[in-house]
Amino acid sequence: MAESDKPVTFYNPKTQHEYKAVYCTDVVEFCPYEGHEDLFVIGTYEVLESGGNVISEAVDTLDNDSNEDDDSIDIGDIDDDDDDNSIKRTGRLLFQSLEAVRDDKGKKKIKVHNITSLSTPAIFDLKWSHKKINDYGYLGMADAIGNVTVYKLVSNGKSYDFEKVANTDNTTNELCCSLDWSNRISNTNNIVVSRSNGYISLYNFNNSEISQLEHWKGHDFEAWCAAFDQWNTNVIYSGADDCLFKGWDTRIGTSTPTFVNKKHEAGVCTIQVNPHNENIMATGSYDSYLNIWDKRNMVKPLIHHCTEGGVWKVKWHPKLEKKSYIASACMYNGFHIYDINLKSAGDEAITEICHYDKHESIAYGIDWCQYTNDVCSNQIMGTCSFYDHLFHIWEMEPIKV
């Protein structure tokens, strides 16, 4: 990771684009494929009452100083006993592209182009397949009716579109809360999904088919996240509303976890192994803590950092030269970029290098964009927040010392 004597770079965030969606925005994912880094998707999530009333619109009109009980529903409010006739979770998959240009006065700006918008069930998670599969890109979607859908990225040479190629057929009432692909480093094309009933599902994707490999009870409460160990995809990690962070090894069966960690004091929302260091991983929780772990010693985290906001999503930087950077969506405290230095200890091992606070609602979605051109060489980020329906594109401008 970062060298102890390496100078830390700090950044000013600069908003380049703001988009207000029809529904609540909760996830953004930029395309990882070379030559297509300008493409991205946004997932939206809305709860409709009987009669079609949009709950988030009612929430948006509430006085922030009101002492009345708040009966609002956010992505973390799940009741498996919801009556389908009175509550409907709906969403849209927004497919867009960006372009860094200069205006008539020579000022840099980000132009965004709409490609398509698909009506879907409410979207909990989206993930591009890390690699193309048989020369095609694929996008996985986890939704609020408990299904996984895979879309193929297609192009006629002038424009792009999504072709739905496979989906599961869930017949029970739970929601899919997260999704991860196994092929960042490995050549296996498996998908792991966590569910609101505490179950974890493992699938194989083969061009146009999804087949279930494993399905097991991982937690007693909502399993918010499941993620592969990309360095050994037989290993899967999961986190849930029971405050537990668990490991599983599919080679020895999933009846018993390989470890059960209780260091978080609230629901575990997000897990990601560092794609550049096989021993390092991160977890985030409603308890506001970002934990950095060495997989060789899961008794105590290397770093236990309070973000002052529930940590819904963490993303390590995809590029090797920024392997010590981690982005976090901290629900009630905006979006943060940290630089991790494993050669230090305690508070000196983690440095906040950028904080983006231009959203006005719960911070849920964040991702690194790998697009650059002659106009913009700075790091571009995408972020989204819930009740204000906002998606922002912003860049990290290095602060010159």
CB 142 within 8 A of CB 179: yes
- Cα dihedral 74, 75, 81, 84 sign: positive
Spatial distance between the Cα atoms of 47 and 40, rounded to a whole number of angstroms: 24
Tokens 């010693």, located at residue: 297
Longest CA span, the chain: 64
Q: What is the pLDDT of residues 216-235, one digit of tens each?
A: 999 999 999 999 999 999 99
**Residue-level pLDDT at 64:** 38
Per CATH, the homologous superfamily of domain 11-398 is: YVTN repeat-like/Quinoprotein amine dehydrogenase (2.130.10.10)
pLDDT tens series, the chain, 401 aa = 444 567 899 999 999 999 999 999 999 999 999 999 999 999 999 998 755 666 555 444 333 333 334 444 566 666 655 545 556 899 999 999 999 999 999 999 999 999 999 999 999 999 999 999 999 999 999 999 999 999 999 998 889 999 999 999 998 889 999 999 999 999 999 999 999 999 999 999 998 899 999 999 999 999 999 999 999 999 999 999 999 999 999 999 999 999 999 999 999 999 999 999 999 999 999 999 999 999 999 999 999 999 999 999 999 999 999 999 999 999 999 999 999 999 887 778 999 999 999 999 999 999 999 999 999 999 999 999 999 999 999 999 999 87
Q: How far apart are CA 375 and CA 25, in angstroms?
A: 28
pLDDT at position 50 is 59
The predicted pLDDT at position 171 comes to 87
Per domain, the residue ranges of the chain are: 11-398
Q: Pairing between strand 108-121 and 87-102?
A: antiparallel
In angstroms, the Cα distances linking 215 to 253, 257, 262, 395 are 11, 14, 23, 41
The angle subtended at Cα 318 by Cα 132 and Cα 206, nearest 5°, is: 25
Instruction: Write down the pLDDT at residue 70.
Output: 42
Say if residues 272 and 318 touch (Cβ distance below 8 Å).
Answer: no
